[in-house]
Structures are given as C-alpha cells and as structure tokens.
Amino acid sequence: MINTIRQSSLEKVRKRSGMFSAELVMTLPLFGIILAGLFEFALLFQARTELAEATRAGARIATLPGVRVDQVEQEVRRVLSPRLQETMDLAVDPGQKTGDVVTVAIAVNMNVASPDLLWPIGYSLKNRQLYQTTRMIRE
C-alpha cells in the first residue's frame, strides 16, 4: 500500500518535471526584452540629463554681456561627455540686448547615447535624436 502511494507520487513528479522548462522557455525571452528596454531607457535618461545640464551651462554663459557663440559652444563641450559630443548639433540664439531671450539647443543621435538593444522587436534608435533646449533672459 505504501509502495503504491510512493509510486503514484513519483509518477506525478515525473509528469511535472518538464513544466518548469516549458515555463522558462516561454518567459525568459520576455524577461530579457524587458531588461534590455530598462537598460536602454536608463542610458537614454542619463544622456538626456547630461544634455539638460549642458544647455543650462551654455545658456548661463550666453546671458552674460559680451559673450560670443564660440564661448557658449566651449562651455557646452566642457559639460558634455566625449561620446555625446561626436554627433552634437548645437544651436545658439544669443539675443541682441538686455531682456532678450537667449536660447541654447542641442540635438544628439540616440545611437551614440545608448546601444540599440531593442531593434529585434522593431524598436530601433537609428535616425532618432535626443533634443534639449534651455531659454534664459539676457542680462
């Protein structure tokens, strides 16, 4: 009697032994895609924060009297990391007189900021850009 109970429970264990493998095969790719997306988003968010700091620094310099556009670009490059400077497109509108709005804008290719991890599922960073603009009043 005890042997038949042990045998029936052993048979149940043998029948379920493949369930873990099947569940793992179904969920592991989804989990991997979610992790890749989180990693890519974190890198893009970090790059966006860096762009915001660079445009703020450039706009602060641009609001001062007598500052040239090349000085603003130098300040922006000082704040940005070298990898983001590779494809940086900088636009500066310094204004003419006191009270004018000074605008500093930067665009960077997303491919430089983050590896293109989600292209297998159809979301590619190719030909996409991160933008950041800061406006301040000229002194």
| pLDDT tens, residue by residue, 36-63 | 999 999 999 999 999 999 999 999 999 9
Structure tokens given for 134: 């800061």
55 Cβ neighbours under 8 A, 6+ residues apart: 76, 104, 105, 106, 132, 133, 134
**Is this model's pTM higher than 0.85 or not?**
no
Which pLDDT value is given to residue 139? Answer: 82
Q: Where do the structural domains in the chain lie, given as residue ranges?
A: 2-137
Q: Name residues of the chain where pLDDT drops below 50.
A: none
Report in angstroms the alpha-carbon separations of 137 from 32, 38, 84, 103: 47, 37, 27, 9
What are the Cα distances from residue 127, in Å, to 84, 110, 124? 15, 8, 8
